[in-house]
Structure 1
């Protein structure tokens, strides 16, 4: 397996939707316009490839100096537990730099994963949920 990582472009929307469906992440994959907007308005995308196959992605919003919100981390099911998610996080951290905090909201099914890759649980967060 020869995995390569890229941060110089955003993959095609259909490839992203297929990856999300394969990974188990809950995203509106039937709404291609919404997925396209999600990526058009994100300013840091790191992707993982096995040849021409998109196998992982980390999508973030950041100011590159204080805070970075890691809004999506997805790896195809058949590639999970191979260190790809960990590498996507490491590359995101490398790009944003040491002075920038990396923050995320975890899906309930991933709550045990994030402490294993260096995140600490925050008890001081608030949110207003989306209505659709």
Structure 2
């Protein structure tokens, strides 16, 4: 179980330029509502995490995957993705919305970019 009290959202979300880091109270609630939260630590410092939600049998959605910039390109994000894909290996589909600069990373984790679909949003967030 992820213990949110150990983390200030500014410590993980803002360094990766995610606007959701400006909404600490909402993030605390969101973290408690995810079915799956896996965190990566360097001793007592939270350096990355992945959050996923699912429908219980067919489809899982990876939502958050922030890794502190100084810990990127060390395999942490990929290990987190592999842990989630292992948890949901019996599901028919695992979905992630990857922005253009993230597509290569997710492809290296086994995801394929949809040829006939794209993400749609109604949002006030700017990232």
Query: Normalized against structure 1, the TM-score is what?
Result: 0.81
Q: Give the corresponding residue for 1:20.
A: 13
Aligned CA distance change for structure 1 residues 25 and 14 (closer, same or farther; 3 Å): same
Q: 1:99 to 1:31 in 2, by over 3 A?
A: closer
Write 1 or 2 for the structure with the bigger share of helix.
Answer: 2
- Shift in Å, 1:52: 0.7
Cα distance change of structure 1 residues 131 and 55 upon mapping to structure 2, 3 Å threshold: closer
Structure 1 unaligned regions, length at least 5:
1-7
Q: 4+ runs of 1 displaced by more than 4 Å?
A: none
Give the aligned partner of residue 90 of structure 1. Answer: 82
- Structure 2 CA distance for partners of 1:71 and 1:97, relative to 1, 3 Å: same
For the 8 Å contact 1:25–1:74, the answer to whether it is kept is: no
1:75-114 Cα shifts (integer Å, max 9, x gaps): 1111101110000001111222233421011123212221
Aligned match of 1:73: 65
**Preserved CA contact (<8 Å) 1:61 1:71:** yes
- Deviation of the 1:26 alpha carbon: 1.6
Give the conservation status (yes or no) of the 8 Å contact 1:58–1:88.
Answer: yes
| CA RMSD across the alignment | 2.0
Distance 1:10 1:100 in 2: 29
Conserved 8 A contact 1:67-1:101: yes
Report the count of equivalent residues: 124
TM-score, normalised with respect to structure 2: 0.83
Name the stretch that deviates more: 57-66 or 92-101: 92-101
Cα distance in 2, alignment partners of residues 36 and 125 from structure 1: 29
